[in-house]
Protein backbone atom coordinates (compact mmCIF):
# COMPACT_ATOMS: atom_id res chain seq x y z
CA UNK A 1 0.00 0.00 0.00
CA UNK A 2 2.00 2.93 -1.31
CA UNK A 3 1.03 6.53 -0.72
CA UNK A 4 2.79 9.84 -0.19
CA UNK A 5 3.00 9.20 3.54
CA UNK A 6 4.51 5.70 3.26
CA UNK A 7 7.96 6.69 4.54
CA UNK A 8 6.52 8.42 7.62
CA UNK A 9 4.13 5.53 8.26
CA UNK A 10 6.99 3.01 7.92
CA UNK A 11 9.03 5.02 10.42
CA UNK A 12 6.13 5.27 12.89
CA UNK A 13 5.44 1.53 12.72
CA UNK A 14 9.14 0.77 13.14
CA UNK A 15 9.27 3.01 16.22
CA UNK A 16 6.21 1.31 17.70
CA UNK A 17 7.65 -2.18 17.14
CA UNK A 18 11.03 -1.13 18.55
CA UNK A 19 9.28 -0.02 21.75
CA UNK A 20 7.06 -3.10 21.93
CA UNK A 21 8.97 -6.05 20.44
CA UNK A 22 6.38 -8.35 21.97
CA UNK A 23 3.96 -7.15 19.27
CA UNK A 24 5.95 -8.99 16.62
CA UNK A 25 6.14 -12.09 18.80
CA UNK A 26 2.42 -11.96 19.56
CA UNK A 27 0.98 -10.97 16.18
CA UNK A 28 3.73 -11.81 13.70
CA UNK A 29 4.35 -10.08 10.41
CA UNK A 30 0.61 -10.05 9.67
CA UNK A 31 0.07 -7.90 12.75
CA UNK A 32 2.76 -5.51 11.61
CA UNK A 33 1.03 -5.18 8.22
CA UNK A 34 -2.31 -4.54 9.97
CA UNK A 35 -0.60 -1.86 12.09
CA UNK A 36 0.69 -0.25 8.89
CA UNK A 37 -2.83 -0.30 7.42
CA UNK A 38 -4.23 1.23 10.63
CA UNK A 39 -1.69 4.03 10.28
CA UNK A 40 -2.80 4.60 6.69
CA UNK A 41 -6.29 5.20 8.12
CA UNK A 42 -4.85 7.62 10.68
CA UNK A 43 -3.20 9.57 7.85
CA UNK A 44 -6.43 9.59 5.84
CA UNK A 45 -8.10 11.28 8.81
CA UNK A 46 -5.17 13.65 9.23
CA UNK A 47 -5.55 14.66 5.58
CA UNK A 48 -9.30 15.13 5.95
CA UNK A 49 -8.77 17.16 9.11
CA UNK A 50 -6.19 19.33 7.37
CA UNK A 51 -8.48 19.93 4.40
CA UNK A 52 -11.26 20.98 6.78
CA UNK A 53 -8.81 22.98 8.93
CA UNK A 54 -10.77 21.70 11.92
CA UNK A 55 -8.94 19.58 14.51
CA UNK A 56 -12.31 18.41 15.85
CA UNK A 57 -12.47 16.04 12.86
CA UNK A 58 -9.39 14.19 14.09
CA UNK A 59 -10.38 14.46 17.76
CA UNK A 60 -13.75 12.84 17.01
CA UNK A 61 -11.99 10.07 15.05
CA UNK A 62 -9.47 9.49 17.85
CA UNK A 63 -12.19 9.24 20.51
CA UNK A 64 -14.32 6.94 18.35
CA UNK A 65 -11.37 4.68 17.51
CA UNK A 66 -10.25 4.57 21.14
CA UNK A 67 -13.73 3.43 22.21
CA UNK A 68 -13.68 0.70 19.55
CA UNK A 69 -10.24 -0.48 20.67
CA UNK A 70 -11.20 -0.45 24.36
CA UNK A 71 -14.28 -2.54 23.56
CA UNK A 72 -11.88 -5.09 22.01
CA UNK A 73 -9.71 -5.29 25.11
CA UNK A 74 -7.03 -2.75 24.29
CA UNK A 75 -5.98 0.22 26.39
CA UNK A 76 -5.92 3.91 25.50
CA UNK A 77 -2.15 3.83 25.93
CA UNK A 78 -1.84 1.65 22.83
CA UNK A 79 -3.44 4.27 20.59
CA UNK A 80 -1.68 7.15 22.35
CA UNK A 81 1.69 5.41 21.88
CA UNK A 82 0.92 4.91 18.20
CA UNK A 83 0.06 8.60 17.83
CA UNK A 84 3.28 9.57 19.67
CA UNK A 85 5.29 7.43 17.25
CA UNK A 86 3.63 9.22 14.34
CA UNK A 87 4.49 12.61 15.89
CA UNK A 88 8.13 11.53 16.25
CA UNK A 89 8.21 10.21 12.67
CA UNK A 90 6.75 13.52 11.47
CA UNK A 91 9.49 15.35 13.41
CA UNK A 92 12.05 13.44 11.35
CA UNK A 93 10.26 14.04 8.05
CA UNK A 94 10.20 16.90 5.60
CA UNK A 95 6.47 16.52 5.06
CA UNK A 96 4.85 19.83 4.27
CA UNK A 97 1.87 19.15 6.56
CA UNK A 98 3.99 17.81 9.44
CA UNK A 99 3.30 20.69 11.84
CA UNK A 100 -0.45 20.67 11.25
CA UNK A 101 -0.61 16.87 11.50
CA UNK A 102 1.32 16.96 14.78
CA UNK A 103 -1.13 19.52 16.15
CA UNK A 104 -4.08 17.27 15.25
CA UNK A 105 -2.40 14.22 16.77
CA UNK A 106 -1.65 16.12 20.00
CA UNK A 107 -5.28 17.25 20.14
CA UNK A 108 -6.37 13.63 19.72
CA UNK A 109 -4.00 12.46 22.46
CA UNK A 110 -5.26 15.18 24.78
CA UNK A 111 -8.89 14.28 24.12
CA UNK A 112 -8.26 10.59 24.80
CA UNK A 113 -6.50 11.42 28.07
CA UNK A 114 -9.31 13.80 29.13
CA UNK A 115 -11.92 11.17 28.26
CA UNK A 116 -10.05 8.54 30.29
CA UNK A 117 -9.79 10.88 33.27
CA UNK A 118 -13.50 11.73 33.08
CA UNK A 119 -14.32 8.00 32.92
CA UNK A 120 -12.25 7.35 36.05
CA UNK A 121 -14.06 10.12 37.93
CA UNK A 122 -17.51 8.70 37.18
pLDDT (tens digit per residue) in 18-36: 999 998 998 899 999 999 9
Q: Provide the 10 A C-beta neighbour count for residue 114.
A: 12
Is pLDDT above 60 for 116? yes
The contacts of residue 108 (CB under 8 Å, 6+ apart) are: 58, 59, 61, 62, 63, 83
Whole-number Cα distances in Å, 74 to 42, 67, 68, 77, 99: 17, 9, 9, 8, 28
pLDDT grade for 1, boundaries at 50, 70 and 90: very low
Which stretches of the chain are assigned E, i.e. beta strand? none
Domains of the chain: 6-121 (1.10.490.20)
Q: Model's pTM, two decimal places?
A: 0.94
Instruction: Name the H helices within 53-97.
Output: 55-71, 76-91
Q: How many helices (H) and strands (E) does the chain have?
A: 5, 0
pLDDT one-digit tens code per residue, 73-104: 889 999 999 999 999 999 999 999 999 999 99
Amino acid sequence: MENKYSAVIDRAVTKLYERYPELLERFGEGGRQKCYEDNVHHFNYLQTTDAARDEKVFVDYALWLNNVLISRGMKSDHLIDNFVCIVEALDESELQQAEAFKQYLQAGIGAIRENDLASQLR
